[in-house]
Structure 1
Amino acid sequence: MTTNVLILCTHNSARSVLAEAMLNHWARKLGKDVKAFSAGSTPSGRINSYAIAALNNADVDTRGYRSKSWDEFSRPGAPHMRIVITVCDSAAAEQCPYWPGTPAQIHWGYEDPSNAPEAKRAAAFESTRQSISDRMLELLQLPLADMSNDELQRALEHMSHH
């Protein structure tokens, strides 16, 4: 059964999209039955061009990604989420919708690379993409299909500390 992962950030334009794309990229490459989605509480409606460039530079397919509301994933018929990850501090502080099935939830914060000075912004996005990529690879090393929700929650919390 596919492990669905929802990655949240307020505007769903940079960090959450980087995480969604990197998790899907590595899951495909490693043959893992994992599907990532991303969303925001107040989506910007567009993906940051620096995020697209960082993904393209890493040979990650960016087709089909879009900025969208987390409401899409709390409706009837939406994919069942096993894991919900927040990647920005403002989204972590917001009241998230109810997710059916009580998924494991974790906050893995990353600084907003959009706030870097213009001359350093591309490098900031690449650094953020690399950090997120490393954590997504670590997530994919877990025996997700064999873990109880409590075991999964503990493993995600453990991953937060390094």
Structure 2
Amino acid sequence: MDIVIRYVFKHRATGIIETKVFSISQLEEQPAQKLSPCFDTTEYELIARNLCFDEEKGVFVGDLINVTTWFGSYIASVKLGEYEQDGSGDEYAPSKCFGFYAEATDPDRTNEKGYVIVPDYLVQNSLIRLDSYKLIGNIYQNPDQLKTEGE
């Protein structure tokens, strides 16, 4: 398994955002400047470098996903780092974990009956434990998605 990284660049003159995806083996084979003109720091600014969680679905750290649970659907941001995982429904203290996780962007959102869609113990949830999620997009090319989708 090769590690895959998404690079997000902003063209200095036009402000256009470009994304490039490379594996570690591609980056080791030749200098980055030969892989893409975006690595020219006089023309482009590197604004993000994200690890891939799910290569098949194209899900990277920094992406927004729509998570479906039996409570309802909610929007979450994909993150990598330390988080607290509690799958017990608040019966036990949460465990400190490290890895890829989904963090609800609007944890106080309610459904049509007034019930909270994301209980406290699911605000941060391991991506591996999620039964169903769908990629919405990334916040670099669609920064307004976070506001629109999280409402």
- Give the alignment's TM-score, normalised by structure 1: 0.22
The structure whose RCO (Cα within 8 Å, separation 6+) is larger is 1
Answer 1 or 2: which has greater helix percent.
Answer: 1
Answer 1 or 2: which has greater strand percent.
Answer: 2
- Give the alignment's TM-score, normalised by structure 2: 0.23
